[in-house]
């Protein structure tokens, strides 16, 4: 097997990228964060329109996502760009208590945007310089945590890209690694099947409850999720029922035992396969999967989906040959041979796995090259 | 290139991998089936008799219930298949 190497950080964890995260703590410090990041090589901005007056569950999710992004192994160090002192100090103290990485901060309300950019640029230069001294050292597949996502699904997803991704996921898990799949609305109708793969009855109940509470939340808003799914384009593509749609979607998780159910952006406390209770919009799921510690993400798509993350590479896999021809700039791995030729699931899984190893060792994915750095720490949809 | 895919051993439907027109014959598990309707790419057709009220099986799992008697070669879709999950939720 090919050797893989990554960047070991001060937490004793290994990243496959070596970024300095420039993290605005509020919508108002986004401009400063963007300017700092534009000025300094080796940094990535995590721009978002939040951090003011969120309440309840969304406040909790926002907070968890911001803190956990910095903990992701792909982040070597971070600059927090706060808006006001109290909140900035609170984040700084909490993050420093959870990581040994170097974390710096500036506060925009102190001296205004222009001077915060100047001060932040100096700090970020220093962080970037230190990060660039870290070199790639050997790591093992057991050090991997991969996120799993599907989006812009079509008739090819359930018979090609999803099972192919599932085969690659099985391989990572069998080598001692960790994998996380999510999208609660995409397991509706298949939760009975999925819960049979749970580690124990407690985890099985968590899976069933995730679906139930999602359904009830929507019903309280006057929306019957069962009545609107499958959506018209799914039906046109040949999908008849919610069971059929979800049974196709869960194939991307492979066949491993499900260890536990994570909250949106929560970090798993062991190895193996996990399910995350989350909405299904790509930018929200990708954010939550990187918060959970995914160093890379396998993304199964039919029609092609451009999305990426600021800190973890996203590998797009499709079984749709026409998508590969139409928008090659959004596809990394073509498994259309599963439909149009005699490519087997295991063969397609190996193709994805081999590509993954290259990405781990530094090959850039299409979303990375195009700087698709969507970041959405507060979910809006279901 | 295959005309269709039977995904799991116990499935009673298969997925068309290209458009199949009425009258076309496909060989499923050694037996010939004559296609009765136009089956578009990605759509399903029955490969066994499925009587009204019994389960339609894809991925080796029940994806819903037949709302009429379905013959091998028939298009299986929202016209003759209903979700059991939707009924349970209401």
> What are A263-315's pLDDT values in tens digits?
999 999 999 999 999 988 899 999 999 999 999 999 999 888 899 999 999 99
Total number of domains in chain A: 2
Angle at A37 between CA A31 and CA A38, to 5 degrees: 90
Its CATH class, for the domain covering B4-89, is mainly beta
Q: What is the pLDDT of residue A280?
A: 86
The answer, yes or no, to whether the previous bond of A230 is cis (omega within 30 of 0) is yes
Q: Do A155 and A101 share a structural domain?
A: no
- Is pLDDT larger for residue A256 or for residue A156? A256
Q: Which residue(s) pair with A102 in the sheet? A: A77
CB contact under 8 A, B63 and A241: yes
Q: Which helix (H) or strand (E) holds A93?
A: helix A85-98
Chain A residues whose beta carbon lies within 8 Å of the beta carbon of residue B1: 340-341
Tell me how far apart the alpha carbons of residues B26 and A208 are, in angstroms, rounded to a whole number: 40
Q: Are residues A218 and A304 in the same domain?
A: yes
Q: pLDDT-based confidence at A154, cuts 50/70/90?
A: confident
Range of the domain at A37: 4-137
Banded model confidence at residue B22, pLDDT cuts 50, 70, 90: very high
Same domain for A132 and A148, yes or no, is no
pLDDT at A381 exceeding the cut of 80: no
Residue with the larger pLDDT of the pair A226 and B81: B81
For the sheet with A272-276, list strands across it.
Answer: A258-262, A272-276, A178-181, A145-151, A296-301, A314-318, A333-334
A15 and A94 share one domain: yes
Contact between B86 and A240 using a beta-carbon 8 Å cutoff: no
Instruction: Specify whether the CB–CB gap between A283 and A375 falls below 8 A.
Output: yes
A215-241: b (≥16 Cβ within 10 Å) or e: beebeeeeeebbeebbeeebeebbbbb
Residues with Cβ < 8 Å from A39, sequence gap 6 or more? A117, A121, A124
| DSSP-H helix ranges across A152-260 | 162-174, 191-195, 201-220, 225-228, 232-236, 242-249
CA–CA distance, A352 with A166 (Å, rounded to integer): 10
Average pLDDT, chain B: 93
Judging by beta carbons within 10 Å of its beta carbon (0-12, 13-18, 19+), is residue A192 exposed, middle or buried? Answer: middle
| C-alpha span between A54 and A73 (Å, rounded) | 27
Does the beta-carbon distance from A226 to B89 stay under 8 Å? yes
- Secondary structure of residue A108 in the 3-state scheme: helix
Q: Which residue has the higher pLDDT, A377 or B90?
A: A377
Q: What is the DSSP letter of A157?
A: I
Q: For B61, which of A154, A193, A240 is closest by C-beta distance?
A: A193
CATH number of the domain residue A74 falls in: 3.40.50
Same domain membership, residue A251 and residue A312: yes
A118 & A181 share domain: no
pLDDT tens digit sequence for A236-269: 888 899 899 999 999 999 999 999 999 999 999 9
pLDDT for residue A252 = 97
For residues A159 and A193, is the Cβ–Cβ distance under 8 A? Answer: no
* ipTM topping 0.90: yes
Query: Which token pair is A293?
Result: 């510690």
Q: Is residue A215 part of a domain?
A: yes
- Any domain includes A155: yes
In a domain, A380, yes or no: no
Give the tens place of pLDDT for each residue, A317-359: 999 999 999 999 999 999 999 998 989 999 999 999 999 999 9
- Res. B89 pLDDT band, cuts 50 70 90: low
* pLDDT digits 0-9 by tens, A5-61: 999 999 999 999 999 999 999 999 999 999 999 999 999 999 999 999 889 989 999
Mark whether A83 and A226 lie in a shared domain: no
pLDDT of residue A1: 58
Each domain of chain B, given as residue ranges in start order, spans: 4-89
Q: Which residues of A touch B44 (CB under 8 A)?
A: 238, 240
**Mutation target among A189, A197, A254 for the B interface, most CBs of B within 10 A:** A189
Q: Which residue has the tokens 């979910």?
A: A379
Q: What is the per-residue pLDDT across A166-182, written as a single tens digit (0 to 9) for each?
A: 999 999 999 999 999 99
Question: Looking at the structure, do residues A205 and A260 belong to the same domain, yes or no?
Answer: yes
DSSP-assigned states of every residue in B42-72: T-EEESS-B-TTSEEEETTEEEEEESS-B-T
B87 confidence band (pLDDT: 50, 70, 90):
low
Would you state the pLDDT for residue A14?
98
DSSP secondary structure code for residue A364 in this structure? P
For residue B13, what is the nearest residue in chain A, using CA coordinates?
A244
Residue B90, pLDDT score: 47
Q: Chain A 217-236, CB below 8 Å of chain B: which residues? A: 224, 226-227, 235
Percent of chain B past pLDDT 90, that is, above it, reads 84
Nearest to A259 by CA among A247, A246, A270: A270
Cα→Cα distances B6→A205, A240, B10, B16, Å:
32, 17, 9, 9
Residue A382 lies in a domain: no
């Amino acid at each position: 097997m090919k050797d893989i190497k990554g960047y070991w950080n001060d937490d004793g964890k290994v990243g496959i990228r070596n970024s300095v995260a420039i993290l605005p703590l509020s919508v108002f410090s986004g401009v400063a964060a963007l300017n700092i990041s534009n000025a300094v090589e080796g940094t990535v901005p995590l721009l978002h329109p939040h951090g003011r007056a969120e309440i309840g569950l969304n406040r909790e999710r926002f907070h968890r996502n911001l803190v956990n992004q910095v903990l992701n192994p792909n982040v070597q160090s971070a600059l927090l760009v706060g808006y006001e002192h109290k909140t900035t100090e609170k984040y700084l103290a909490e993050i420093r208590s959870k990581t040994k990485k170097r974390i710096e901060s500036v506060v925009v309300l102190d001296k205004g945007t222009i001077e915060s950019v100047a001060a932040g640029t100096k700090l970020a230069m220093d962080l970037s310089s230190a990060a660039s001294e870290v070199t790639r050292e050997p790591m093992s597949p057991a050090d991997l945590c991969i996120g799993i996502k599907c989006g812009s699904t079509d008739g090819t997803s359930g018979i090609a890209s999803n099972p192919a991704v599932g085969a690659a996921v099985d391989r990572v898990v069998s080598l001692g690694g960790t994998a996380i799949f999510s999208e609660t609305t995409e397991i509706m109708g298949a939760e009975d099947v999925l819960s049979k793969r749970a580690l124990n009855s407690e985890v099985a109940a968590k899976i069933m409850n995730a679906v139930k509470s999602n359904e009830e939340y929507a019903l309280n808003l006057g929306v019957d999720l069962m009545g609107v799914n499958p959506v018209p384009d799914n039906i046109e593509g040949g999908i008849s029922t919610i069971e059929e749609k979800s049974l196709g979607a869960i194939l991307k998780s492979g066949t491993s035992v499900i260890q536990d159910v994570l909250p949106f952006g929560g970090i798993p406390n062991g190895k193996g396969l996990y399910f995350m209770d989350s909405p299904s919009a790509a930018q929200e799921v990708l954010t939550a999967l990187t918060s959970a510690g995914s160093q890379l993400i396998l993304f199964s798509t039919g029609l092609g989906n451009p999305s990426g993350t600021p800190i973890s590479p996203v590998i797009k896999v499709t079984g749709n040959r026409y998508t590969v021809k139409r928008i090659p700039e959004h596809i990394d791995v073509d498994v259309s041979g599963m439909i149009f030729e005699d490519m087997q699931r295991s063969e397609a899984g190996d193709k994805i796995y081999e590509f993954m190893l290259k990405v781990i060792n530094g090959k850039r994915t299409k979303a990375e090259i195009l700087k698709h750095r969507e970041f959405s720490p507060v979910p809006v949809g279901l | 290139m295959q005309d269709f895919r039977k995904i799991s051993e116990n499935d009673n439907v298969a997925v068309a991998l290209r458009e199949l027109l009425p009258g076309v014959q496909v060989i499923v598990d050694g037996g010939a089936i004559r296609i009765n309707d136009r089956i578009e790419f990605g759509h399903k057709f029955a490969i066994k008799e499925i009587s009204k009220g019994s389960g339609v099986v894809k991925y080796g799992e029940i994806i819903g219930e037949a709302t009429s008697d379905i013959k091998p070669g028939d298009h299986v879709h929202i016209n003759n298949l209903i979700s059991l999950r939707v009924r349970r939720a209401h």
